[in-house]
Structure 1
Amino acid sequence: MSKTIMVVDDSASVRTVVGIALRGTGYEVIEAHNGKDAVSKLTGQKVHLIISDVNMPEMDGITFVKTLKQHPSYRFTPILMLTTESDAGKKQEGQAAGAKAWMLKPFQPEQMLGAVQKLCLP
Structure 2
Amino acid sequence: MYAIFVTIKIKPGYAEQFKEASLGDAQGSVRDEPGCVRFDMHQSMDDPNTFHLYEVYENQDAHLNAHRNAPHYIKWRETVQDWFDGEPQRVAMTTIFPSDGGWRAQKPNLVNW
Short-chain TM bin: under 0.3
- Return the structure number with greater relative CO, CA threshold 8 A, min gap 6: 2
Query: TM-score normalised to the size of structure 2?
Result: 0.28
Q: Rg: which structure is higher? A: 2
